[in-house]
A and B are shown apart, each in its own frame.
Chain A
Amino acid sequence: MTAEIGHFSLILALVLSIFQGTIPLAGAALNRNQWVAVARPAARGQFLFVTIAFLSLIYAFLTSDFSVANVAQNSHTLKPILYKFAGVWGNHEGSMVLWVFILALFGLAVAEFGNGLPPTLHARVLAIQGLIGFAFLAFILFTSNPFLRLDPPPMEGNGLNPVLQDPGLAFHPPFLYLGYVGFSIAFSFAVAALIEGRVDPAWARWVRPWTLAAWCALTVGIALGSWWAYYELGWGGWWFWDPVENASFIPWLVGTALLHSSIVVEKRDALKSWTILLAILTFSMSLLGTFLVRSGILTSVHTFASDPERGVFILGLLVFVVGGSLTLYAIRAPMLKGGGLFAPISREGALVLNNLLLTTGAAVVLLGTLYPLILDAVGGGKISVGPPFFNATFVPLMVPVMLAPVVGAMLHWKRGDIGSVLGRLKIALSIALIGIVATGYFAENIKDLLAAGGIGIGVWLIFGSTVEISERISLFRGTFSNSLRRFARLPRSQLGMAIAHGALGIMVLGITASSAWRVENIQLMAPGDIASVSGYSLKFDGTKKIIGPNYQGERGTFIITKDGKKIGTLNPEKRRYPSANSETTEAGILTTISGDLYAVLGDERKNSAQGGSSWTARIYFNPLVAWIWIGAILMAAGGIISLTDRRHRIGPPKTARSPNKNNNKISSI
């Protein structure tokens, strides 16, 4: 029965979304307040129905109701409860329901917290959200219905793909979707502003918290995905430039640009049409990613079972949403007039540079991702575009992006003086130089020299951000209590920014060290054998059979000693999942601040002579690798701290500037 309730709720939500998407728009255009007022209750109803649908699907999974085809295909009675739950979005149909659930949740949030917004803008934003909801609900109902029944129901389900049965991956999709879907708010605000014909600092203040929240979620989502790949895929890599990874990275890059350019709109009333374009593009790239993953035009570890029919539908959806909004942009944006003036060397100038490089970087990643596909589509044959391409093109582009933020944040608005800023940063500059020289001194090859540069950049970001904050709170230049008082009064957005920039530095250190100085040791080990890696000794203690809830396998034990002292054990596993007829490897990892010891158990080989057996062991030392994810999480934390800034608290300030003051109003159509 619950499946029918869920199905019916989705249909109701679809019908309601038609009203939500049209009546408020018409009301705002025709000045009919009652029509405008439809928006808010519609958004509430939307949330209610989609929630009911989502809950019924969760219920079906938790109770292992195999009469629902989706549950039968993707779940199993023996699965741990967490993965029954996560199984809801571990498949295409269910993940789309999660998608619209998050969309409806954001819609509700805008409806409830939008009191300070001008009524027509509020109604239009909700209407655009309604239209997006309509498109996705139709997609679910017509191509990907999760509530289809099976008759007769099977006794047992097929089970979730074992590699996906993992806590890291269980929460990877929800965070990604929070990011993708969160950007839809910025998108709706942008489209609504284009219709209204007005963009001003107040607009930027409304959009910013949503963008920031979405960006934080996407940052966490991508980090979770890469962490999962690191420990699950079994060779210690954490980023592969896989098309599906790129599909989430491109919106992140454009979203980061949007985050920075909206500051300029807010503070200086400039870069308006550019910011609107970024808001549209960020969400468009999220949708494009969805298309790539689900259409069946590319294959990857993360792709869902694909279906060209769905691809056609999503393509139509893309033409409607992306094509429509960009056309609206092309027609309306030229009317937005630029505001505040600034010299190239200024805070604004630095943010423009940041935007230019981030969007160029996004374009390069997009090019590399789509090129094989486009070439094949035009009959040019098959090629591969792998990590070497991205390392050669994208990475150099990011060097200035990493160098600029500290300086940029300390430049004055309108017109800055680089010389004086660098003077104030001389401590950070010297430490960075020391870092480069110290690591460069031991360089044996070009790779090491490049790595020294990377270390320098990381150190520069960390200490530069520290200097910036200590300057703001007059650390070392007055009493400590005075500094503390200043620290408490420091705008949260300032603090959040410095933390995020410093976190980027931590991440750069992790990326640099783990890719340049990784140590690998592959050998055949019998129980009692000792392998040594980077000063650690690992004694192989043999393997034991293990039996999990829905798998069997072997668990190896390595005892780690350093300088004769035992510091831990590693327990890599090999698991076999009979219900899915597949195997996974679980790496054994010991994380230390200086790096990870990482062991993978390979094949067993019987020694015919002695009767025992040996195992192929792959042992790595990945220096500073955990810093990558620590950096990513701190970066998101910086974003969240910014969110708590008084100006950004959800619910925009009541004292929005009067529209007449800015000369941006376009006479409405």
Chain B
Amino acid sequence: MITRFITITLIALIISFSAVAVEPNEVLKDKSLENRARNLSKGLRCLVCQNQSIDDSNADLARDLRVILRERLKAGDSDKEVIGFIVARYGEFVLLDPPVNPRTALLWGGPGLIIIISGISLALWFRRRNTTIAEELSKIEKESLVSLLEDTPDRRGPEK
């Protein structure tokens, strides 16, 4: 999992690779608190490893953040307060689940918009096809009717 840090060498940052993510001694005794901590840390991005949550990361900073997060929880912070604490220091970049705000309006609205647009264009396409098809069909039918009538002159048809 060290691979996620390859990029880091680009900016010559030094990270200790020593630990595996979530050390036994970090785990809180209180099960529900620990569950909250795990869930929260899964949504926080490890800054030095790109696209990895601090829960998955063995970076030093990720561990420090996990520890701080648990300390805040033990001190009685709500989930929101803990997230706020980290965002105040590191910005919204740490949130793997981007919050809905004007900056992300197109991101969160995008999928819905794409579905609506493609749905409407599909419906329009079907309708247009059906009308042109109906026109063409009626034209073909007329022609065949005429030829039918011509072939069987002894029968009387509704049209000439």
Direct contact of A and B (CB under 8 A): yes
Instruction: Please report A residues at the B interface, Cβ cutoff 8 Å.
Output: 161, 163, 232-235, 237, 240-243, 299-301, 303, 338, 341, 344, 352, 356, 359-360, 363-364, 367-368, 371, 375, 380-389, 393-394, 397, 522-524, 582-585, 600-603, 616, 618
**Assembly CA distance A278 to B108 (angstroms):** 25
Shortest B20–chain A CB gap in Å is 3
Q: Please, which residue of chain A has its CB at the minimum distance from the CB of B21? A: A235
List, in ascending order, chain A residues with CB within 8 A of B21's CB: 235, 618
List, in ascending order, chain A residues with CB within 8 A of B1's CB: 233-235, 585
Shortest B120–chain A CB gap in Å is 11
Q: Which one, A301, A367, A524, A603, contacts B19 given CB within 8 A? A: A603
Q: Which one, A356, A387, A397, A585, contacts B111 given CB within 8 A? A: A397
* CB atoms of A360 and B118 under 8 A apart: yes
Q: Please, which residue of chain B has its CB at the minimum distance from the CB of A585? A: B1
List, in ascending order, chain A residues with CB within 8 A of B153's CB: none
Shortest B129–chain A CB gap in Å is 7
* CB atoms of B98 and A383 under 8 A apart: yes
List, in ascending order, chain A residues with CB within 8 A of B43's CB: 386, 388
* CB atoms of A384 and B96 under 8 A apart: yes
Which residues of B (1-59) have their CB < 8 Å from a CB of A?
1-4, 6-7, 10, 17-25, 27, 43, 45, 50-53, 56
- Judge if B110 is at the interface, Cβ distance under 8 Å: yes
Q: Which one, B3, B23, B45, B107, contacts A301 given CB within 8 A? A: B3
- Judge if B106 is at the interface, Cβ distance under 8 Å: yes
- Judge if B88 is at the interface, Cβ distance under 8 Å: no
- Judge if B155 is at the interface, Cβ distance under 8 Å: no
* CB atoms of A602 and B107 under 8 A apart: no
- Judge if B97 is at the interface, Cβ distance under 8 Å: yes
- Judge if B94 is at the interface, Cβ distance under 8 Å: yes
* CB atoms of A383 and B92 under 8 A apart: yes
* CB atoms of A389 and B107 under 8 A apart: yes
List, in ascending order, chain B residues with CB within 8 A of A385's CB: 96, 98, 107
Instruction: Please report B residues at the A interface, Cβ cutoff 8 Å.
Output: 1-4, 6-7, 10, 17-25, 27, 43, 45, 50-53, 56, 91-98, 103-104, 106-108, 110-111, 114-115, 118-119, 122, 126, 129, 133
Q: Which one, B50, B95, B118, B133, contacts A359 given CB within 8 A? A: B118
Q: Please, which residue of chain B has its CB at the minimum distance from the CB of A344? A: B126
Across chains A and B, the number of contacting residue pairs, with CB separation under 8 Å, is 134
Beyond A383-B92, A386-B97, A616-B23, whether A235 also contacts B56 by CB under 8 A is yes
Interface of A is mostly: mixed
Q: Which one, B2, B45, B107, contacts A368 given CB within 8 A? A: B107
List, in ascending order, chain B residues with CB within 8 A of A388's CB: 43, 96-97
**Assembly CA distance A389 to B99 (angstroms):** 10
Q: Which one, A235, A299, A371, A618, contacts B7 given CB within 8 A? A: A299
Shortest B130–chain A CB gap in Å is 9
List, in ascending order, chain A residues with CB within 8 A of B19's CB: 602-603, 616
**Assembly CA distance A384 to B103 (angstroms):** 12
**Assembly CA distance A523 to B22 (angstroms):** 10
* CB atoms of A584 and B2 under 8 A apart: yes
* CB atoms of B2 and A389 under 8 A apart: no
A sample of 8 cross-chain residue pairs with beta-carbon separation below 8 angstroms, ordered by A number, consists of A233-B1, A235-B56, A242-B51, A360-B118, A381-B91, A382-B92, A384-B51, A582-B2
List, in ascending order, chain A residues with CB within 8 A of B45's CB: 384, 386
Q: Which of B1, B92, B103 has the most CB of A within 10 A?
A: B1
Shortest A47–chain B CB gap in Å is 35
Q: Which one, A237, A356, A371, contacts B122 given CB within 8 A? A: A356
* CB atoms of B2 and A387 under 8 A apart: no
* CB atoms of B23 and A602 under 8 A apart: yes
Given A299-B7, A360-B115, output 12 extra A-B contacts at Cβ < 8 Å. Answer: A237-B56, A341-B133, A364-B111, A371-B110, A522-B22, A582-B2, A583-B2, A584-B3, A585-B1, A585-B2, A585-B20, A603-B18
**Assembly CA distance A208 to B52 (angstroms):** 38
* CB atoms of A303 and B7 under 8 A apart: yes
* CB atoms of A384 and B110 under 8 A apart: no
Shortest A521–chain B CB gap in Å is 10
Q: Please, which residue of chain B has its CB at the minimum distance from the CB of A581? A: B9
Q: Which of B4, B27, B119 has the most CB of A within 10 A?
A: B4
